[in-house]
Amino acid sequence: MSRPPEGRASTGQKIEQALEKALDPLATALKRATTPAPKPAAPGKPGLEISPLAVPFPTIPPIGGVEIATARAGFYKHERDDLVVFRFARGTTCAGVFTRHKIGSAPVDWCKRHLDASDGGNDVRGLVINAGCANAFTGKAGADAARRTASETAKRFGCRQRDVMLASTGVIGVVLDDRKITARLNDIETALDGDMHPTDQWARAGLGIMTTDTFPKGSFAECRIDGHTVRIAGIAKGSGMIAPDMATMLGFIVTDAAIAPPVLRALLGLHVRTTFNSVTVDGDTSTNDTCLLFATGSSGAPRIGRVGDRRLKEFSAALDKVMLDLAHQLVRDGEGATKFVRVSVEGAASPASARKLAKSIADSPLVKTALAGEDANWGRVVMAVGKTEEPVDRDRLAIRFGPHVAAVDGAPSPTYDEAKMSAYMKNAEIDITVDVGSGRASATVWTCDLTKRYVEINGDYRS
């Protein structure tokens, strides 16, 4: 059978080519429809995707008495800022809450020592934060590196080294190379004197303190003190090794109110319990947990020097709002998380008992993996409640997932509907409520699910 001359197509080939041309747009459209869109990469560690529970960074207006700058010191191999410096106006006050971990880091020791001094927190001028090296479990060498960092920064800001606060996050057991920080202080000073918009300053700072975080965490609120508008802004980082009693997180909050250090300490201690200390991702507490609250006094509001001052009522509520927002964002960015979960315990014998029961549920790997599998396995909740040895009336125990009753009066609910429960478990935000029938106390803890991605992220944390 003869073949058509080269360069010429047979009638059959022409028909085939015409069909291919006609069908090509359809094939392309089908390919697009069946190929999943690539997920956005996180701005922090390479290989991470932005959490599906992420929230946008807020708009933050100017807050008098504070400037922020970031730089790349080189604690990470990849290109990213990993050094953040705050510069505060003279007279800025400060208070802090720190990890209860028995092996605190050098920066935690530094801040606690100087804030606990007789006049501590009365004139804090700077804050230096690095990501990529925790400077924890590093002995005298780590302590010396922290001191040198504060000393060099203090020379630039014209203050005492004790007036510079420090914070670090990253790998434990590596001594901080403070030369990497001091080498970038000229760039930091130039940036501090620049005119970057406050929202950009705060957002870049939020990015600069991230480790396995997938989005920067910020919050802002306004209130009134004695007729004056007062602003509060904050950033935080944390994604894994998150547990109550100062979760593994760094949090930095600044207000332009004028508040004495003892009052700041009281406010921070009051609100940390129901915010940062009421979130858990994996039940592990870190060596570096730090939350610092600064008050620059630049708002014009009168100075508050007494804890019981009634003028603090609105400010206290606004501070709680900022802290709770940041705490929730830590959970939303839990390593590998796909569910944001609120665990509420009611009918407990005491607030401490309610808190322990809620934490047991929120920390349970069996509960958390069931949530990841969208399985309302309320038997695992029963397990987590009973193992605490807290007062529980078995015959009055009740469990709800959102509005759906799973158990009541110590037995499966007669109205239990598996289809409705399964549909509810597909939500990104889930409420679990347990009444233990032993009293009137209650507590709430926020957590997330436990997925395969958590294992993957922590399996190669140091790579």
Of the candidates 385, 388, 384, 367, which has an alpha carbon nearest to the alpha carbon of residue 376? 367
3-state class of 259 per DSSP?
A: strand
Contact by Cβ (8 Å): 329, 289: no
Name the token pair of 87. 């510069």
Contact by Cβ (8 Å): 400, 310: no
E-assigned strands of 111-264? 126-133, 164-171, 217-225, 228-237, 250-255
Instruction: Using the Cα atoms of residue 385, residue 387, residue 388 and residue 394 in order, give the sign of their dihedral.
Output: positive
List CB contacts of 341: < 8 A, sequence separation 6 or more: 331, 362, 371, 429, 430, 431, 432, 446, 447, 448, 449
Residues listed for the chain:
463
Helix (H) / strand (E) element for 66: namely strand 66-71
| 245 residue type, one letter | D
Q: How far apart are CA 113 and CA 109, in angstroms?
A: 6
* Residue 171: count of CB within 10 angstroms of its CB: 14
Q: How far apart are CA 213 and CA 329, in angstroms?
A: 10
Helix (H) / strand (E) element for 61: namely none
Burial class (CB in 10 A: 0-12, 13-18, 19+), 408: middle
Q: Which of 138, 153, 211, 248 is catalytic?
A: 248
Q: Is 169 designated active site?
A: no
Q: Per DSSP, what are the bridge partners of residue 258?
A: none
Q: How far apart are CA 435 and CA 413, in angstroms?
A: 14
Q: How far apart are CA 63 and CA 83, in angstroms?
A: 21
Phi–psi pair at 14, nearest 5 degrees: -65, -40
C-alpha distances (whole Å) from 165 to each of 161, 168, 329, 439, 445 are: 9, 11, 24, 44, 30
Known catalytic residues are 248
